[in-house]
Amino acid sequence: MSEDFLKAAMAAKEAAAELAPLPRAPKDAALRAIADALVARSAEIVEANALDVRRAEESGTSAYMIDRLRLDEARVRAVADAVRQVADLPDPVGEVIRGGTLPNGLELRQLRVPLGVIGIIYEGRPNVTVDAAALCLKSGNATLLRGSSSAYESNTVLVRIMQEALADTEVPAGAVQLVPGQTRESVKELMRARGLVDVLIPRGGASLINSVVEEATVPVIETGVGNCHVYVDADADQDLAIEILVNAKAQRPSVCNAAETFLVHAAVADAFVPRALAALAAQGVTVHGDARIAAYGDDVVPAGEDDFLAEYLSLDIAAAVVDSLEDAVAHIRKYGSGHTDAIVTRSVGASRRFVALVDSAAVAVNASTRFTDGGEFGFGAEIGISTQKLHARGPMGLPELTSTKWVYTGEGHLRTASGTVIASGEAAGA
Residue 424 burial (10 A CB sphere; 0-12, 13-18, 19+): exposed
Q: 359: which residues sit within 8 A by CB, 6+ positions away?
A: 333, 338
pLDDT in tens, 198-214: 999 998 777 888 888 88
**pTM for the whole structure:** 0.84
Model pLDDT, residue 252: 92
Q: Consecutive sets of 10 residues in the chain, 430 residues long: mean pLDDT of each?
A: 92 97 98 98 97 94 86 96 93 96 96 97 90 95 95 97 97 95 90 95 83 91 88 98 98 93 98 98 98 96 96 95 98 96 98 97 97 85 82 89 96 92 67
What confidence tens digit (pLDDT) does each residue in 314-351 have? 999 999 999 999 999 999 999 999 999 999 999 999 99
Cβ-defined contacts of 292-298 (< 8 Å, 24+) = 292/266, 292/320, 292/321, 293/264, 293/319, 293/320, 293/321, 296/269, 297/273
Secondary structure (DSSP) of 245-275: HHHHHHSSTTSTTSEEEEEEEHHHHHHHHHH
Give dist(CA 388, CA 205) in Å, integer: 15
DSSP assignment letter at 365 = E
DSSP bridge partners of 99: 109
Reply yes or no on domain 228-371 having CATH 3.40.309.10: yes
pLDDT score for 426: 58
- How buried is 379 (Cβ within 10 angstroms: 0-12 exposed, 13-18 middle, 19+ buried)? buried
| Residues whose CB is less than 8 angstroms from the CB of residue 203 and which lie 6 or more positions away in sequence, other chains included | 120, 121, 122, 123, 128, 223, 224, 383, 384
**CA 88 – CA 426 distance, rounded (Å):** 45
**What pLDDT does residue 424 have?**
83
What pLDDT score does 192 carry? 94
Cβ atoms of 328 and 263 within 8 Å: the answer is: yes
Residues forming beta bridges with residue 259, ordered by sequence position:
228
Domain ranges of the chain: 3-223+383-406, 228-371
Q: How many CB atoms lie within 10 A of CB 169?
A: 18
**Nearest CA among 137, 163, 167, 142 for reference residue 381:** 137
Count CA atoms closer than 13 A to 6's CA, side-chain side: 3
Sign of CA dihedral 388, 123, 331, 237: positive
Q: Of 73, 70, 38, give the one whose Cα is nearest residue 54.
A: 70
Question: Phi and psi for 353 in degrees, rounded to 5?
Answer: -70, -40
On the question of a common fold for 3-223+383-406 and 228-371, the answer reads: no
How much is the pLDDT for 428?
A: 45
Helix-, strand-, coil-residue percentages of the chain, each rounded to 5:
45, 20, 35
Q: Which helix (H) or strand (E) holds 50?
A: helix 42-58
Given 3.40.605.10, 3.10.105.10, 1.50.40.10, 3.40.50.12780, which CATH number is that of 3-223+383-406? Answer: 3.40.605.10
- 44-77 pLDDT per residue, tens: 999 999 999 999 999 998 887 888 899 999 999 9
CA–CA separation, 32 and 137 (whole Å): 12
